[in-house]
A and B are shown apart, each in its own frame.
Chain A
Amino acid sequence: MRIRLDPWPVDTQSGQLSLHAFNGEAIDIETPRWAAIAPRDIPQRLKRVYVVDGKPRMEARLLIEDDQGQSSFAGYGAFVAGAVDLCPHGSRPAELKDVRVQRVLAHGANMQLSPVQLSPRNPHTGQLEYRPSGFPADRDEATAPAAHIQALMLEAEQQLSHGLASSVPFDEDDDREVLSALTIQDGTLRGRNLGGAVVGCVKTLHTMYIDPGRMELLARLKPGERTPILHLRYGHNQFTRFSWYVRLCEAPFHLHPLAGVMRLEMYAPEEPDFLPPIVRAVANVSGTLLCRLAGQAHKDPRAPQNLIPTAALETAMGRSMGDLNLVTRRIRAHIAAELGAAVLGGVA
């Protein structure tokens, strides 16, 4: 018998490894030769790397009625998307960028609501303002507000990612674009491509995009090495991605052999006939860059996949949203005061 650990703690949603079968299409776009590719040095012209992440938070579940008698599930929520701006050559300190919280009152469609300001208890706690944001009419179940907040966060995250990165030409004739700013986004890429050099870092290996015969290479990768780039198409041709695997660190003997492996992806055009040079450039530096950013096991239970800047960003984002206990207390006090006023007004 041979027992190996999945590296991730049991209180995360699932293990690092689950490996479901992939029901899309994967094509060798870089090379048909399935072998490890050594990392390259980071070119001097790549001046900025942005690590982007987002975080949603439901702060109170609500049931609301507007003056027209419409009612819906709703929620007070907050989300934040932010970036760490760092130099891949280590020539300047890493800085937090655009870590700003937004608060929404997520509500059902067709409701007329005005922004809610929660009155501060004392001058030091500032304003809490929830901007109304309706979710689509077809979703009126209890989980809709939370899903809406999540969607808003993802949208903000994507806007931020692409706004910061160099643009990627998906045109064979355009070779002027060089990779000067790269965004590393936490997790898979979502939605439509907005044209930026954004690479998604998928921490878990949940779907097996390559056949089992090829999986063996992943276990043999040395730190920094990568697999060739694949072109993926899945979800009934809805999504197309470039993807490759990188090893960030040696897997310790007690963990399964894929423990230090991470899958990266970039947006791809639908037709698998062209690999933009910038995508290859990103893939070439990804091993060096991610090894540098990789977390360490004693500092982060999801190391090395959870990158150092990502972990710092998560902390900063959590802090920017404020203490949840204080916020819910404010909400409770606010609603109690409003209702109290209405009741007292009715009596008078």
Chain B
Amino acid sequence: MLGRVLGTEDATPTSFWFLVASGQSVQLDDLVVARTRRPDGLEVAFYGLVESVRKRHEGVSFESDVEDVMAGVLPASVSYAARVLVTRVDPENFVPPQPGDPVLHARGADLHMALSADKMKDAAFPGGLLADGQVMPLNYRFVNGESGGHINISGISGVATKTSYALFLLHSIFRSGVLGKGASDTRAVIFNVKGEDLMFLDRPNRSASEIEAGVQRGKGLAANRYQLLGLPQEPFRDVQFLAPPRPGGTGSSIVPHVEQRTSGVTPFVFTLREFCRRRMLPYSFADRDSSLNLGFVIGSIEEKLFRLSRDGEQPYLTVADWKPDTDVMLDEELQFSELGEVRVDTFPKLVSYLEYKLLDENDGNGDPRWVGKQAPATLQAFIRRLRGVQKHLAPLIRGDLSAAQAAQYRPDLTRPDRQLSVVDIHKLSGHGQMFVVGVLLRDLFEYKERTGRSNTIFVVLDELNKYAPREGDSPIKDVLLDIAERGRSLGIILIGAQQTASEVERRIVSNAAIRVVGRLDMAEAERPEYRFLPQSFRARAGILQPGSMLVSQPDVPNPVLVNYPFPAWATRPDEVEQVTEAAEVEGSMRDLFGL
């Protein structure tokens, strides 16, 4: 027995204090159960978690009495009490517990009840370990969109290890067996935004076993944390790594722009025709709302480009109504085809063409059909912005490829043989990152709109506040909002993370069924976005250590503190366990054949 319900503090159906019995130790987040018997014999169980623990000298009234107590002069006893937030009352008979009722650690069946695992049944997958080494189940139905969807993770960078927890959740979803038959169809996409941290997810981490053994010893756990969770201690399987091409390359020399990983990274590019046909122009502008008219111009040019791209299948576009002045030619490689058409096969050329159509043609008045009735200032703003992003987008949008190359380097996040796609965008500028994230997410969303929710695609995106800020508007925000609001019914699930949820579009955060909080800035923790945390948890969020997260899910009314094992996969090149030569060779062979 852990203790007894106190009679000197109010005991209510939602919270109560208990005196910790001598020789027992209770810490925050311990899950406990108290049982009371009504006069009619009905037994009511109160499951809850320890929200506060305190010790004090009992029977003394002055603070300085502690000196006398320690001098052995004043008899006093230490009272050790804990406050419990009730998470569940079973049966739902909201009587208070009786002072003196015994309080026990929730273990086994009690733990199941405390965490509502009985409601989850086969949809439960491990979401981490409680402080005492027991598994905290998460309800997959609240992840995959069946009852709810999306996961949101908040926390300070570097301390909160948001990405680590997101990866742990993916690993748990993929490998715990919760997917059942759907396992082969489930996909995940991660955008790598910082360093090349995620480029080694398919390699074992050489520190993992040692660290896990140390934790097991330190916490006195019965087994390795992976064993306790029932998960294999293995890196991710069936991963494809996508990276943008190195800038400056022309023609066939398309190599991925990564430094640390030498093999197994596929470069990705979009053709100029795709850019137009698939209406990617808006994703080149992060701040289209800066003036109303600019948005209108973008929309009308997008439509014009779409029409231009309808005929033909080549990666480039051809235009007949452009007579570039060779003196002001931006690019000496401008090609003219047989029929007097100009081939637009690079992004700068496309920008020059648009400049011509909007500003230069017709003695500086532009082509009336393109210009519409827009003021020249707006058109100039449009071109100026496009010129601004030209450098960033030029390596990504190419018209100088063969059709075969275009097909080979087209990013495919739904390849049947790849469960996990890592899209490396950390080398891209902010504009480039926006463009890639926006275009790929839009593609995924459209793909899911076509195929329905037969399978689930997880999208892991850090720094949501950058892509979907609370203030302002952007095409990326639109597509993220689409995913947040409609994605769960289509089977596209956002695992979003940010330092500060208060700076992310409210509708995205509020759509997440599962909310996770790592270490927070104290001021941030007091914002309304974290109201789901009881006050004591908000205070505690300021002192959480890496590897500990507060997880809130709809089934359990209070958040639960969990820790999760050290990644079994490498997140930095120096963590990569030396793999056997054969595996290395196999990896490079795959790469060679573009497998």
Contact = CB atoms under 8 A, between A and B. Distances in A.
Partners in one complex: yes
A178 interface: no
Interface residues of A, number: 22
A288 B75 CA distance: 19
Contacts, number: 50
A312 B100 contact: no
Interface stretch (B64-72, B492-500, B556-564): B64-72
Interface string B39-74: 000000000000000000001111011001111111
B574 to A, nearest CB: 53
B371 interface: no
A86 B59 contact: no
- The range of chain B's interface size is 10 to 19
The SS class assigned to the A binding surface is mixed
A275 interface: no
A90 B71 contact: yes
Contact of B75 (A124, A292, A316): A316
B68 A91 contact: no
B73 A94 contact: yes
A93 B75 contact: yes
B99 to A, nearest CB: 8
B76 interface: yes
A308 B72 contact: no
Nearest to B99: A124
Nearest to A315: B59
A292 to B, nearest CB: 6
Contact of A93 (B61, B64, B65, B69): B69
Contact of A312 (B59, B64, B70, B72): B59
A86 B62 contact: no
A309 B59 contact: no
A4 to B, nearest CB: 27
Contacts of A91: 72
B75 A299 contact: no
A92 B72 contact: yes
A75 B549 CA distance: 64
Interface in B86-103: 99-100
B69 A94 contact: yes
A249 to B, nearest CB: 15
Contacts of A35: none
A312 B62 contact: no
A14 to B, nearest CB: 26
Contact of B71 (A84, A96, A292): A292
A220 to B, nearest CB: 27
Interface centre among A96, A124, A298, A299 (most CB of B within 10 A): A299
A100 to B, nearest CB: 15
B62 A84 contact: no
Nearest to B78: A93
A93 B72 contact: yes
Contacts of B70: 90, 93
Interface centre among B65, B71, B99 (most CB of A within 10 A): B71
Interface in A66-92: 84, 86-87, 89-92
A316 B76 CA distance: 10
Contacts of A308: 68, 73-74
A42 interface: no
A316 B72 contact: no
Contacts of A312: 59-60, 74-76
B96 to A, nearest CB: 14
Nearest to A88: B72
A91 B73 CA distance: 10
Interface centre among A92, A93, A293, A315 (most CB of B within 10 A): A93
Contacts of B75: 84, 86, 93-96, 309, 312-313, 316
A86 B72 contact: yes
B59 A94 contact: no
A127 B504 CA distance: 63
A96 B100 CA distance: 23
A89 B72 CA distance: 8
Nearest to B72: A90
Contacts of A313: 75
B72 A94 contact: yes
B72 A293 contact: no
B72 A87 contact: yes
A312 B73 CA distance: 10
A292 B59 contact: no
Interface string B109-136: 0000000000000000000000000000
Contacts of B69: 93-94
A110 B75 CA distance: 43
A181 to B, nearest CB: 15
A94 B61 CA distance: 16
A71 B161 CA distance: 84
A50 to B, nearest CB: 11
B36 to A, nearest CB: 13
Interface in B5-63: 59-62
A246 to B, nearest CB: 17
A209 B73 CA distance: 31
Interface in A286-311: 292-293, 298-299, 308-309
B62 A90 contact: no
B73 to A, nearest CB: 5
Interface string A175-190: 0000000000000000
B100 A124 contact: yes
Interface of A: 84, 86-87, 89-96, 124, 292-293, 298-299, 308-309, 312-313, 315-316
27 contacts: A84-B75, A86-B72, A86-B73, A87-B72, A90-B70, A90-B71, A90-B72, A90-B73, A93-B69, A93-B72, A93-B75, A94-B69, A94-B73, A94-B74, A124-B100, A292-B71, A293-B73, A299-B62, A299-B64, A308-B68, A308-B73, A312-B59, A312-B75, A312-B76, A313-B75, A315-B59, A316-B75
Query: What 6 pairs between A and B have smallest CB-CB spacing?
Result: A90-B72, A94-B75, A90-B71, A96-B75, A308-B74, A84-B75
Interface of B: 59-62, 64-65, 68-76, 99-100
